[in-house]
Amino acid sequence: MKKMNNRWQSVLLSLALFGLAACTGDFEDINRNPNQVTDDQMDALNYKTGTKFKALQSLVIPVQEHMYQFNESLSGGPFGGYIGATVDTWQTKFETYNPSADWRKWPFANVITETYTPYKGIVNGTEDEVAIAFARLLRVAIMHRVTDSYGPIPYSKLESNESVYVEYDSQEAVYTKMFEELDEAIEILGRNTTLPAEAWSRYDGVYYGNIAQWLKYANSLKLRMAMRLSYVKSDVARAKAAEAIAGGVIEANADNAAMHAAENRTTLIYNDWGDHRVGADILCYMNGYKDPRMEKMFLANDVGDYVGIRIGIDVTSKSQAMSKYSNMIVASDTPYLWFNAAEATFLHAEYELRWGSAETAKTLYEQAVRLSFEERGASGADAYLVDATKKPAPYTDPLGNYSASARSEITVPWETATDGSDTEAVQERNLERIIVQKWIAIFPLGVEAWSEHRRTGYPKLLPVPTDKSGGSVNVEQGARRLPYPVEEYQQNNANLQAAIQTLGAEQQNGDRSGDVMGTRVWWDCKPYNK
Protein backbone atom coordinates (compact mmCIF):
# COMPACT_ATOMS: atom_id res chain seq x y z
CA MET A 1 0.00 0.00 0.00
CA LYS A 2 2.86 2.41 0.77
CA LYS A 3 4.37 1.76 -2.68
CA MET A 4 1.04 2.59 -4.34
CA ASN A 5 0.80 5.87 -2.44
CA ASN A 6 4.31 6.91 -3.47
CA ARG A 7 3.54 6.22 -7.12
CA TRP A 8 0.37 8.26 -6.95
CA GLN A 9 2.16 11.14 -5.23
CA SER A 10 4.61 11.32 -8.12
CA VAL A 11 1.83 11.24 -10.72
CA LEU A 12 -0.21 13.86 -8.89
CA LEU A 13 2.73 16.17 -8.33
CA SER A 14 3.47 16.12 -12.07
CA LEU A 15 -0.15 16.80 -12.90
CA ALA A 16 -0.33 19.63 -10.38
CA LEU A 17 2.80 21.33 -11.71
CA PHE A 18 1.52 21.01 -15.28
CA GLY A 19 -1.76 22.62 -14.26
CA LEU A 20 -0.05 25.55 -12.53
CA ALA A 21 2.21 26.21 -15.52
CA ALA A 22 -0.70 26.17 -17.97
CA CYS A 23 -3.18 28.33 -16.12
CA THR A 24 -2.33 30.28 -12.96
CA GLY A 25 -5.44 32.41 -13.12
CA ASP A 26 -7.87 29.74 -11.93
CA PHE A 27 -8.57 30.25 -8.21
CA GLU A 28 -9.55 26.59 -7.66
CA ASP A 29 -6.41 25.30 -9.34
CA ILE A 30 -4.19 27.65 -7.31
CA ASN A 31 -5.79 26.63 -4.02
CA ARG A 32 -6.18 22.90 -4.70
CA ASN A 33 -4.09 20.56 -2.57
CA PRO A 34 -1.38 19.31 -4.98
CA ASN A 35 -1.87 15.79 -3.56
CA GLN A 36 -5.63 15.79 -4.23
CA VAL A 37 -6.87 13.65 -7.13
CA THR A 38 -9.47 15.27 -9.39
CA ASP A 39 -12.28 13.29 -10.99
CA ASP A 40 -10.83 13.94 -14.45
CA GLN A 41 -7.43 12.68 -13.38
CA MET A 42 -8.94 9.54 -11.84
CA ASP A 43 -10.96 8.89 -14.98
CA ALA A 44 -7.92 9.36 -17.19
CA LEU A 45 -5.96 6.79 -15.19
CA ASN A 46 -8.98 4.45 -14.94
CA TYR A 47 -8.62 4.69 -11.17
CA LYS A 48 -12.25 4.85 -10.04
CA THR A 49 -13.33 1.90 -12.13
CA GLY A 50 -10.06 0.00 -11.69
CA THR A 51 -10.17 -0.05 -7.90
CA LYS A 52 -13.74 -1.39 -7.98
CA PHE A 53 -12.63 -4.04 -10.49
CA LYS A 54 -9.89 -5.07 -8.08
CA ALA A 55 -12.36 -5.16 -5.17
CA LEU A 56 -14.61 -7.57 -7.08
CA GLN A 57 -11.64 -9.80 -7.92
CA SER A 58 -10.84 -10.03 -4.23
CA LEU A 59 -14.26 -11.60 -3.56
CA VAL A 60 -14.37 -14.42 -6.14
CA ILE A 61 -12.28 -16.50 -3.76
CA PRO A 62 -12.11 -14.16 -0.77
CA VAL A 63 -8.65 -12.81 -0.08
CA GLN A 64 -9.63 -11.36 3.30
CA GLU A 65 -8.65 -14.04 5.79
CA HIS A 66 -11.84 -14.12 7.89
CA MET A 67 -14.17 -14.23 4.89
CA TYR A 68 -12.02 -16.94 3.32
CA GLN A 69 -12.07 -18.93 6.53
CA PHE A 70 -15.86 -18.87 6.85
CA ASN A 71 -16.56 -19.55 3.16
CA GLU A 72 -13.87 -22.14 2.44
CA SER A 73 -12.20 -23.47 5.60
CA LEU A 74 -15.31 -23.72 7.79
CA SER A 75 -18.11 -24.59 5.34
CA GLY A 76 -17.22 -25.41 1.73
CA GLY A 77 -13.95 -27.13 2.59
CA PRO A 78 -15.34 -29.53 5.21
CA PHE A 79 -18.44 -30.35 3.17
CA GLY A 80 -16.25 -31.01 0.13
CA GLY A 81 -14.00 -33.44 2.04
CA TYR A 82 -10.99 -31.13 2.09
CA ILE A 83 -10.60 -29.48 5.50
CA GLY A 84 -11.41 -30.16 9.16
CA ALA A 85 -11.23 -27.88 12.19
CA THR A 86 -8.67 -28.37 14.96
CA VAL A 87 -9.98 -25.84 17.49
CA ASP A 88 -11.09 -27.62 20.66
CA THR A 89 -13.42 -24.81 21.79
CA TRP A 90 -15.57 -24.80 18.64
CA GLN A 91 -18.64 -26.75 19.68
CA THR A 92 -21.04 -25.02 17.26
CA LYS A 93 -19.76 -25.22 13.72
CA PHE A 94 -20.83 -25.92 10.15
CA GLU A 95 -19.19 -29.32 9.95
CA THR A 96 -21.26 -30.70 12.86
CA TYR A 97 -24.38 -29.05 11.36
CA ASN A 98 -24.99 -26.52 14.16
CA PRO A 99 -23.28 -23.24 13.16
CA SER A 100 -23.78 -20.32 15.50
CA ALA A 101 -25.72 -17.23 14.41
CA ASP A 102 -22.60 -15.09 14.02
CA TRP A 103 -21.03 -17.70 11.72
CA ARG A 104 -24.09 -18.03 9.48
CA LYS A 105 -23.97 -14.48 8.12
CA TRP A 106 -20.48 -14.66 6.57
CA PRO A 107 -21.06 -16.73 3.40
CA PHE A 108 -24.30 -14.85 2.65
CA ALA A 109 -24.76 -11.33 4.05
CA ASN A 110 -21.10 -10.34 4.13
CA VAL A 111 -20.43 -11.53 0.58
CA ILE A 112 -23.54 -9.85 -0.84
CA THR A 113 -22.91 -6.56 0.95
CA GLU A 114 -19.27 -6.33 -0.12
CA THR A 115 -20.01 -7.31 -3.71
CA TYR A 116 -22.70 -4.82 -4.64
CA THR A 117 -20.94 -1.59 -3.69
CA PRO A 118 -18.12 -1.97 -6.25
CA TYR A 119 -20.41 -3.74 -8.72
CA LYS A 120 -22.94 -0.90 -8.79
CA GLY A 121 -20.10 1.60 -8.85
CA ILE A 122 -18.95 0.15 -12.16
CA VAL A 123 -22.25 -0.53 -13.95
CA ASN A 124 -23.73 2.83 -12.89
CA GLY A 125 -20.53 4.84 -13.11
CA THR A 126 -19.06 4.16 -16.55
CA GLU A 127 -20.04 3.54 -20.15
CA ASP A 128 -16.91 1.48 -20.82
CA GLU A 129 -18.30 -1.80 -22.17
CA VAL A 130 -15.25 -3.81 -21.11
CA ALA A 131 -15.50 -2.53 -17.54
CA ILE A 132 -19.18 -3.44 -17.44
CA ALA A 133 -18.42 -6.87 -18.91
CA PHE A 134 -15.86 -7.44 -16.17
CA ALA A 135 -18.38 -6.40 -13.52
CA ARG A 136 -21.05 -8.75 -14.88
CA LEU A 137 -18.59 -11.63 -15.16
CA LEU A 138 -17.23 -11.17 -11.65
CA ARG A 139 -20.70 -10.83 -10.13
CA VAL A 140 -21.55 -14.21 -11.64
CA ALA A 141 -18.24 -15.68 -10.45
CA ILE A 142 -18.98 -14.53 -6.90
CA MET A 143 -22.71 -15.10 -6.69
CA HIS A 144 -22.91 -18.54 -8.32
CA ARG A 145 -21.06 -19.78 -5.22
CA VAL A 146 -23.69 -18.14 -3.02
CA THR A 147 -26.69 -19.62 -4.83
CA ASP A 148 -24.98 -23.02 -4.95
CA SER A 149 -24.59 -22.83 -1.17
CA TYR A 150 -28.12 -21.64 -0.34
CA GLY A 151 -30.54 -22.12 -3.24
CA PRO A 152 -32.80 -19.07 -3.75
CA ILE A 153 -30.95 -15.78 -3.19
CA PRO A 154 -31.56 -12.05 -3.79
CA TYR A 155 -30.21 -11.37 -7.27
CA SER A 156 -32.22 -9.56 -9.93
CA LYS A 157 -33.61 -6.96 -7.50
CA LEU A 158 -30.24 -6.07 -5.97
CA GLU A 159 -28.90 -4.24 -8.99
CA SER A 160 -31.56 -1.52 -8.91
CA ASN A 161 -32.27 -1.35 -5.17
CA GLU A 162 -30.31 0.54 -2.55
CA SER A 163 -31.26 -1.97 0.14
CA VAL A 164 -29.94 -5.53 0.29
CA TYR A 165 -33.22 -6.64 1.88
CA VAL A 166 -35.13 -7.44 -1.29
CA GLU A 167 -37.09 -10.27 -2.87
CA TYR A 168 -35.28 -13.50 -3.63
CA ASP A 169 -35.06 -15.23 -7.00
CA SER A 170 -35.51 -18.96 -7.38
CA GLN A 171 -32.26 -20.76 -8.09
CA GLU A 172 -33.50 -21.60 -11.57
CA ALA A 173 -34.14 -17.90 -12.22
CA VAL A 174 -30.71 -16.99 -10.84
CA TYR A 175 -29.00 -19.44 -13.18
CA THR A 176 -31.03 -18.21 -16.14
CA LYS A 177 -30.04 -14.61 -15.41
CA MET A 178 -26.41 -15.55 -14.84
CA PHE A 179 -26.18 -17.31 -18.19
CA GLU A 180 -27.58 -14.18 -19.86
CA GLU A 181 -24.97 -12.02 -18.14
CA LEU A 182 -22.17 -14.43 -18.95
CA ASP A 183 -23.17 -14.51 -22.61
CA GLU A 184 -23.21 -10.70 -22.69
CA ALA A 185 -19.76 -10.53 -21.07
CA ILE A 186 -18.36 -13.19 -23.40
CA GLU A 187 -19.65 -11.33 -26.46
CA ILE A 188 -18.05 -8.05 -25.32
CA LEU A 189 -14.74 -9.62 -24.28
CA GLY A 190 -14.64 -11.48 -27.59
CA ARG A 191 -14.84 -8.16 -29.45
CA ASN A 192 -12.03 -6.66 -27.37
CA THR A 193 -9.32 -9.32 -27.27
CA THR A 194 -6.88 -6.97 -29.03
CA LEU A 195 -7.30 -4.26 -26.38
CA PRO A 196 -3.79 -3.44 -25.05
CA ALA A 197 -3.15 -5.05 -21.67
CA GLU A 198 -2.06 -1.68 -20.28
CA ALA A 199 -5.71 -0.59 -20.17
CA TRP A 200 -6.35 -2.87 -17.16
CA SER A 201 -3.00 -4.28 -16.07
CA ARG A 202 -2.64 -1.81 -13.19
CA TYR A 203 -5.72 -3.26 -11.47
CA ASP A 204 -5.91 -6.83 -12.74
CA GLY A 205 -4.45 -9.35 -10.32
CA VAL A 206 -5.52 -12.36 -12.40
CA TYR A 207 -4.52 -11.89 -16.05
CA TYR A 208 -2.90 -8.42 -15.90
CA GLY A 209 -5.13 -7.01 -18.60
CA ASN A 210 -5.02 -9.92 -21.06
CA ILE A 211 -8.59 -9.94 -22.42
CA ALA A 212 -8.06 -13.15 -24.43
CA GLN A 213 -7.32 -15.02 -21.20
CA TRP A 214 -10.34 -13.46 -19.47
CA LEU A 215 -12.46 -14.76 -22.35
CA LYS A 216 -11.21 -18.31 -21.73
CA TYR A 217 -12.03 -17.96 -18.05
CA ALA A 218 -15.55 -16.69 -18.83
CA ASN A 219 -16.22 -19.66 -21.11
CA SER A 220 -14.79 -22.05 -18.52
CA LEU A 221 -17.07 -20.61 -15.84
CA LYS A 222 -20.00 -21.06 -18.24
CA LEU A 223 -18.99 -24.69 -18.75
CA ARG A 224 -18.81 -25.27 -14.98
CA MET A 225 -22.27 -23.80 -14.48
CA ALA A 226 -23.71 -25.65 -17.46
CA MET A 227 -22.61 -29.03 -16.14
CA ARG A 228 -24.12 -28.14 -12.77
CA LEU A 229 -27.51 -28.53 -14.45
CA SER A 230 -26.79 -31.95 -15.95
CA TYR A 231 -29.45 -33.73 -13.89
CA VAL A 232 -32.07 -31.03 -13.47
CA LYS A 233 -32.01 -29.48 -16.98
CA SER A 234 -29.95 -31.75 -19.19
CA ASP A 235 -31.01 -30.00 -22.40
CA VAL A 236 -29.88 -26.61 -21.10
CA ALA A 237 -26.71 -28.13 -19.67
CA ARG A 238 -25.80 -29.73 -22.97
CA ALA A 239 -26.48 -26.62 -25.06
CA LYS A 240 -24.68 -24.18 -22.76
CA ALA A 241 -21.71 -26.52 -22.32
CA ALA A 242 -21.38 -26.93 -26.09
CA GLU A 243 -21.40 -23.14 -26.51
CA ALA A 244 -18.71 -22.73 -23.85
CA ILE A 245 -16.45 -25.40 -25.35
CA ALA A 246 -16.85 -23.92 -28.84
CA GLY A 247 -16.07 -20.46 -27.46
CA GLY A 248 -12.74 -21.64 -26.05
CA VAL A 249 -12.06 -22.72 -22.46
CA ILE A 250 -8.86 -22.94 -20.40
CA GLU A 251 -6.79 -25.77 -21.88
CA ALA A 252 -3.26 -24.99 -20.66
CA ASN A 253 -1.91 -24.23 -17.21
CA ALA A 254 -0.47 -20.98 -18.55
CA ASP A 255 -4.08 -19.75 -18.77
CA ASN A 256 -5.15 -20.81 -15.28
CA ALA A 257 -7.21 -18.21 -13.45
CA ALA A 258 -5.75 -17.28 -10.06
CA MET A 259 -5.77 -14.10 -8.01
CA HIS A 260 -2.26 -12.83 -7.26
CA ALA A 261 -2.83 -10.80 -4.11
CA ALA A 262 -0.09 -8.80 -2.41
CA GLU A 263 -0.09 -11.50 0.28
CA ASN A 264 -1.92 -14.79 0.60
CA ARG A 265 -3.62 -14.32 3.95
CA THR A 266 -4.64 -17.96 4.25
CA THR A 267 -1.14 -18.49 5.64
CA LEU A 268 -2.57 -16.99 8.82
CA ILE A 269 -5.41 -19.53 8.89
CA TYR A 270 -3.34 -22.63 8.20
CA ASN A 271 0.23 -21.84 9.22
CA ASP A 272 -0.06 -19.26 12.00
CA TRP A 273 -3.38 -19.97 13.71
CA GLY A 274 -3.41 -23.69 12.93
CA ASP A 275 -7.22 -23.72 13.05
CA HIS A 276 -7.53 -26.42 10.37
CA ARG A 277 -5.88 -29.50 8.97
CA VAL A 278 -6.40 -31.47 5.77
CA GLY A 279 -9.44 -33.73 5.80
CA ALA A 280 -9.21 -37.51 6.08
CA ASP A 281 -11.22 -37.98 2.88
CA ILE A 282 -8.84 -36.54 0.30
CA LEU A 283 -5.77 -38.10 1.91
CA CYS A 284 -7.43 -41.53 2.04
CA TYR A 285 -7.99 -41.39 -1.72
CA MET A 286 -4.51 -40.06 -2.46
CA ASN A 287 -2.76 -42.45 -0.07
CA GLY A 288 -4.59 -45.37 -1.64
CA TYR A 289 -3.51 -44.28 -5.11
CA LYS A 290 0.05 -43.53 -3.93
CA ASP A 291 -0.58 -40.21 -5.64
CA PRO A 292 2.69 -38.37 -6.48
CA ARG A 293 0.93 -35.02 -6.10
CA MET A 294 0.41 -35.58 -2.39
CA GLU A 295 3.86 -34.37 -1.31
CA LYS A 296 3.45 -31.30 -3.53
CA MET A 297 0.15 -30.34 -1.91
CA PHE A 298 0.45 -31.36 1.75
CA LEU A 299 2.85 -31.57 4.67
CA ALA A 300 3.50 -34.80 6.57
CA ASN A 301 2.53 -34.99 10.24
CA ASP A 302 4.95 -35.21 13.17
CA VAL A 303 5.98 -38.79 12.33
CA GLY A 304 6.25 -38.31 8.58
CA ASP A 305 2.85 -39.63 7.49
CA TYR A 306 0.24 -38.02 5.30
CA VAL A 307 -2.94 -38.40 7.33
CA GLY A 308 -6.00 -36.18 7.61
CA ILE A 309 -8.39 -35.25 10.35
CA ARG A 310 -11.82 -36.85 10.37
CA ILE A 311 -14.21 -34.05 9.39
CA GLY A 312 -17.07 -33.43 11.82
CA ILE A 313 -15.50 -34.37 15.14
CA ASP A 314 -15.23 -32.43 18.38
CA VAL A 315 -11.49 -32.04 18.89
CA THR A 316 -10.22 -32.56 22.45
CA SER A 317 -6.74 -31.03 22.01
CA LYS A 318 -5.89 -28.46 19.36
CA SER A 319 -2.13 -28.82 19.78
CA GLN A 320 -2.37 -32.59 19.40
CA ALA A 321 -4.54 -32.25 16.29
CA MET A 322 -2.12 -29.77 14.76
CA SER A 323 0.79 -32.19 15.10
CA LYS A 324 -0.94 -35.47 14.25
CA TYR A 325 -2.78 -34.38 11.09
CA SER A 326 -1.33 -33.05 7.84
CA ASN A 327 -1.44 -29.40 6.85
CA MET A 328 -1.84 -27.99 3.35
CA ILE A 329 1.11 -26.27 1.69
CA VAL A 330 0.50 -22.54 1.29
CA ALA A 331 2.94 -19.61 1.26
CA SER A 332 2.51 -15.86 1.28
CA ASP A 333 3.13 -15.71 -2.49
CA THR A 334 0.74 -18.56 -3.38
CA PRO A 335 -1.99 -17.26 -5.70
CA TYR A 336 -5.65 -17.90 -4.90
CA LEU A 337 -6.82 -20.51 -7.40
CA TRP A 338 -10.08 -19.75 -9.27
CA PHE A 339 -10.08 -22.16 -12.18
CA ASN A 340 -7.43 -24.44 -13.67
CA ALA A 341 -7.01 -26.21 -16.99
CA ALA A 342 -7.54 -29.58 -15.32
CA GLU A 343 -11.03 -28.61 -14.16
CA ALA A 344 -12.05 -27.32 -17.58
CA THR A 345 -10.74 -30.50 -19.21
CA PHE A 346 -12.51 -32.79 -16.72
CA LEU A 347 -15.74 -30.88 -17.38
CA HIS A 348 -15.22 -31.34 -21.11
CA ALA A 349 -14.59 -35.05 -20.50
CA GLU A 350 -17.88 -35.34 -18.63
CA TYR A 351 -19.66 -33.56 -21.46
CA GLU A 352 -18.31 -36.14 -23.91
CA LEU A 353 -19.16 -39.01 -21.55
CA ARG A 354 -22.78 -37.86 -21.37
CA TRP A 355 -23.47 -36.58 -24.87
CA GLY A 356 -20.51 -37.32 -27.12
CA SER A 357 -17.79 -39.88 -27.67
CA ALA A 358 -16.63 -42.24 -24.93
CA GLU A 359 -13.24 -42.44 -26.61
CA THR A 360 -12.91 -38.64 -26.61
CA ALA A 361 -13.99 -38.61 -22.96
CA LYS A 362 -11.16 -41.04 -22.14
CA THR A 363 -8.61 -38.89 -23.96
CA LEU A 364 -9.78 -35.74 -22.17
CA TYR A 365 -9.84 -37.48 -18.77
CA GLU A 366 -6.23 -38.60 -19.16
CA GLN A 367 -5.23 -35.18 -20.46
CA ALA A 368 -6.81 -33.55 -17.41
CA VAL A 369 -4.88 -35.79 -15.02
CA ARG A 370 -1.64 -34.94 -16.82
CA LEU A 371 -2.47 -31.23 -16.63
CA SER A 372 -2.95 -31.54 -12.88
CA PHE A 373 0.38 -33.35 -12.45
CA GLU A 374 2.05 -30.64 -14.51
CA GLU A 375 0.46 -27.86 -12.47
CA ARG A 376 1.61 -29.43 -9.20
CA GLY A 377 5.10 -30.17 -10.49
CA ALA A 378 4.66 -33.94 -9.99
CA SER A 379 5.98 -36.73 -12.20
CA GLY A 380 4.58 -40.18 -12.94
CA ALA A 381 1.22 -39.33 -14.53
CA ASP A 382 1.49 -42.04 -17.18
CA ALA A 383 2.09 -44.82 -14.64
CA TYR A 384 -0.66 -43.42 -12.40
CA LEU A 385 -3.19 -43.59 -15.24
CA VAL A 386 -2.65 -47.31 -15.97
CA ASP A 387 -2.34 -48.75 -12.44
CA ALA A 388 -5.58 -50.66 -11.91
CA THR A 389 -4.53 -52.23 -8.59
CA LYS A 390 -4.69 -49.21 -6.33
CA LYS A 391 -7.90 -48.06 -4.64
CA PRO A 392 -8.78 -45.50 -1.96
CA ALA A 393 -7.34 -46.46 1.41
CA PRO A 394 -9.25 -46.98 4.66
CA TYR A 395 -8.85 -44.29 7.30
CA THR A 396 -6.58 -45.03 10.23
CA ASP A 397 -6.78 -42.29 12.84
CA PRO A 398 -3.37 -41.72 14.45
CA LEU A 399 -5.23 -40.90 17.68
CA GLY A 400 -7.20 -44.15 17.47
CA ASN A 401 -10.66 -42.60 17.67
CA TYR A 402 -12.28 -42.29 14.25
CA SER A 403 -10.87 -44.98 11.94
CA ALA A 404 -13.15 -46.16 9.13
CA SER A 405 -13.21 -48.40 6.07
CA ALA A 406 -12.82 -46.94 2.59
CA ARG A 407 -16.00 -45.52 1.08
CA SER A 408 -15.12 -46.29 -2.54
CA GLU A 409 -13.27 -48.89 -4.55
CA ILE A 410 -12.87 -46.78 -7.69
CA THR A 411 -9.57 -47.17 -9.53
CA VAL A 412 -7.79 -44.58 -11.65
CA PRO A 413 -7.62 -46.11 -15.18
CA TRP A 414 -10.48 -45.40 -17.58
CA GLU A 415 -12.78 -48.36 -18.12
CA THR A 416 -13.91 -49.38 -21.60
CA ALA A 417 -17.23 -51.14 -22.04
CA THR A 418 -16.98 -54.56 -23.69
CA ASP A 419 -19.53 -56.84 -25.27
CA GLY A 420 -21.88 -58.09 -22.61
CA SER A 421 -20.86 -55.47 -20.03
CA ASP A 422 -23.31 -53.20 -18.28
CA THR A 423 -22.65 -50.00 -20.23
CA GLU A 424 -24.60 -47.83 -17.82
CA ALA A 425 -22.60 -49.15 -14.88
CA VAL A 426 -19.34 -48.60 -16.76
CA GLN A 427 -20.38 -45.05 -17.60
CA GLU A 428 -21.24 -44.37 -13.97
CA ARG A 429 -17.87 -45.67 -12.80
CA ASN A 430 -16.13 -43.47 -15.35
CA LEU A 431 -18.16 -40.52 -14.10
CA GLU A 432 -16.91 -41.30 -10.59
CA ARG A 433 -13.34 -41.36 -11.93
CA ILE A 434 -13.78 -37.96 -13.56
CA ILE A 435 -15.23 -36.38 -10.43
CA VAL A 436 -12.72 -37.95 -8.03
CA GLN A 437 -9.76 -36.84 -10.12
CA LYS A 438 -11.24 -33.38 -10.61
CA TRP A 439 -11.77 -33.17 -6.84
CA ILE A 440 -8.08 -33.87 -6.27
CA ALA A 441 -7.04 -31.45 -9.02
CA ILE A 442 -9.04 -28.42 -7.85
CA PHE A 443 -7.99 -28.48 -4.19
CA PRO A 444 -8.52 -26.22 -2.20
CA LEU A 445 -11.73 -24.98 -3.93
CA GLY A 446 -14.04 -26.20 -1.19
CA VAL A 447 -17.33 -24.69 -2.35
CA GLU A 448 -16.83 -26.16 -5.83
CA ALA A 449 -15.85 -29.58 -4.44
CA TRP A 450 -18.95 -29.59 -2.24
CA SER A 451 -21.20 -28.57 -5.12
CA GLU A 452 -19.90 -31.35 -7.37
CA HIS A 453 -20.22 -33.89 -4.56
CA ARG A 454 -23.87 -32.92 -4.14
CA ARG A 455 -24.55 -32.92 -7.87
CA THR A 456 -22.99 -36.31 -8.65
CA GLY A 457 -22.62 -38.16 -5.34
CA TYR A 458 -18.84 -38.27 -5.85
CA PRO A 459 -16.40 -38.50 -4.29
CA LYS A 460 -17.95 -40.77 -1.68
CA LEU A 461 -17.16 -39.11 1.65
CA LEU A 462 -17.00 -40.32 5.24
CA PRO A 463 -20.08 -39.39 7.30
CA VAL A 464 -19.53 -36.99 10.18
CA PRO A 465 -19.05 -38.80 13.52
CA THR A 466 -20.66 -35.97 15.51
CA ASP A 467 -24.10 -35.01 14.19
CA LYS A 468 -25.65 -32.02 15.94
CA SER A 469 -28.32 -31.34 13.32
CA GLY A 470 -31.16 -32.66 15.41
CA GLY A 471 -32.21 -34.88 12.52
CA SER A 472 -32.39 -32.12 9.92
CA VAL A 473 -29.46 -33.62 7.96
CA ASN A 474 -29.23 -37.10 6.46
CA VAL A 475 -25.81 -37.89 7.90
CA GLU A 476 -24.98 -40.48 5.23
CA GLN A 477 -25.49 -37.82 2.54
CA GLY A 478 -24.10 -34.81 4.41
CA ALA A 479 -25.04 -31.13 4.28
CA ARG A 480 -26.89 -30.10 1.11
CA ARG A 481 -26.99 -26.34 1.70
CA LEU A 482 -26.34 -23.60 4.28
CA PRO A 483 -29.07 -22.06 6.45
CA TYR A 484 -29.96 -18.43 5.84
CA PRO A 485 -28.50 -15.97 8.37
CA VAL A 486 -30.45 -14.79 11.36
CA GLU A 487 -30.28 -11.21 10.06
CA GLU A 488 -32.53 -12.17 7.13
CA TYR A 489 -35.19 -13.38 9.57
CA GLN A 490 -34.90 -10.11 11.47
CA GLN A 491 -34.67 -7.62 8.58
CA ASN A 492 -36.18 -9.34 5.54
CA ASN A 493 -38.54 -11.95 6.93
CA ALA A 494 -41.42 -11.70 4.45
CA ASN A 495 -39.11 -12.12 1.46
CA LEU A 496 -37.18 -14.85 3.26
CA GLN A 497 -40.30 -16.85 4.02
CA ALA A 498 -41.27 -16.68 0.35
CA ALA A 499 -37.76 -17.88 -0.55
CA ILE A 500 -38.05 -20.85 1.80
CA GLN A 501 -41.30 -21.79 0.08
CA THR A 502 -39.51 -21.54 -3.27
CA LEU A 503 -36.69 -23.70 -1.94
CA GLY A 504 -39.22 -26.40 -1.10
CA ALA A 505 -41.00 -26.08 -4.43
CA GLU A 506 -37.73 -26.43 -6.37
CA GLN A 507 -36.47 -29.44 -4.42
CA GLN A 508 -36.57 -32.88 -6.04
CA ASN A 509 -35.74 -36.26 -4.45
CA GLY A 510 -35.29 -34.66 -1.04
CA ASP A 511 -35.92 -36.18 2.38
CA ARG A 512 -35.66 -32.96 4.41
CA SER A 513 -37.47 -29.61 4.04
CA GLY A 514 -37.31 -26.01 5.18
CA ASP A 515 -34.37 -23.74 5.90
CA VAL A 516 -32.14 -26.55 7.14
CA MET A 517 -28.85 -27.99 5.98
CA GLY A 518 -30.43 -31.21 4.78
CA THR A 519 -32.72 -29.64 2.18
CA ARG A 520 -31.56 -30.10 -1.41
CA VAL A 521 -31.21 -27.14 -3.76
CA TRP A 522 -32.75 -27.07 -7.24
CA TRP A 523 -29.93 -28.70 -9.24
CA ASP A 524 -29.14 -31.27 -6.49
CA CYS A 525 -31.61 -33.89 -7.69
CA LYS A 526 -29.69 -37.05 -8.61
CA PRO A 527 -30.88 -40.05 -6.55
CA TYR A 528 -28.48 -40.68 -3.69
CA ASN A 529 -25.74 -43.26 -4.15
CA LYS A 530 -26.73 -46.64 -2.81
For residue range 153-207, list pLDDT tens digits in order. Answer: 999 999 888 899 999 999 999 999 999 999 999 999 999 999 999 999 999 999 9
pLDDT at 9: 38
> Looking at residue 530, what is its pLDDT?
64
**Residue 301, pLDDT above cutoff 50:** yes
Q: How confident is the model at residue 46 (pLDDT cuts 50, 70, 90)?
A: confident
Nearest Cα to 133, choosing from 198, 200, 196, 42?
200
Q: Cα angle at 360 between 354 and 362, to 5 degrees?
A: 85
Q: Each residue of 472-491: pLDDT tens digit?
A: 999 999 999 999 999 999 99
DSSP string, 274-307: --EEEBHHHHHHHHHTT-TTHHHHB---TTS---
Task: Tell me the whole-structure pTM to 2 decimals.
Answer: 0.92
Q: What's the average model confidence in pLDDT over 313-336? A: 98
Nearest Cα residue to 277 out of 301, 294, 293, 296: 301
How do residues 241-295 score in pLDDT, each as one tens digit? 999 999 999 999 999 999 999 999 999 999 999 999 999 999 999 999 999 999 9
Beta carbons of 311 and 83 less than 8 angstroms apart: yes
Q: Quick check: 30 pLDDT over 90?
A: no
Where do the domains of the chain lie?
2-44, 47-266+331-456
- Assigned architecture for domain 47-266+331-456: Alpha Horseshoe (1.25)
pLDDT band at 467 (very low <50, low <70, confident <90, very high): very high
Q: Is the pLDDT of residue 130 over 60?
A: yes
